[in-house]
């Protein structure tokens, strides 16, 4: 599957998702594992979401490295500047 993560925001934004598990650990896209969140690693937590056309609807792929069944929290953020903030 793809495009499992979806969000609405004004058009023209750069949106990314941060995924956490039931234990509150955050998915690190670089190490491809959950970890205790660290401010120093924040840039590695974002999963990109692309805008569909220009309607303010954004979609992103849930990481294929997350294979364990469970409940996950997905928070969406707007990127400001060149990196996740």
Provide the residue ranges of all domains of the chain, joining segments of one domain with +.
5-78
76-to-4, 6, 59 alpha-carbon distances in Å: 13, 9, 11
pTM of the model: 0.91
Structure tokens at 10: 């004004």
Tens-digit pLDDT profile for residues 17-68 = 999 999 999 999 999 999 999 999 999 999 999 999 889 999 999 999 999 9
**CA-CA distances (angstroms) from residue 41 to 7, 18, 36, 64?**
24, 12, 10, 20
CB contact at 8 A, 68 and 79 = no
User: For position 85, what pLDDT does the model report?
Assistant: 65
């Amino acid at each position: 599957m793809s495009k499992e993560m979806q969000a609405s925001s004004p058009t023209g934004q750069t949106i990314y998702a941060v995924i956490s598990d039931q234990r509150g650990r955050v998915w690190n896209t670089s190490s491809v594992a959950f970890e205790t969140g660290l401010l120093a690693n924040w840039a590695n937590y974002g999963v990109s979401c692309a805008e569909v056309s220009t309607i303010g609807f954004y979609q992103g792929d849930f990481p294929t490295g997350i294979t364990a069944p469970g409940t996950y929290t997905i928070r969406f953020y707007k990127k400001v500047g060149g990196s996740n903030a």
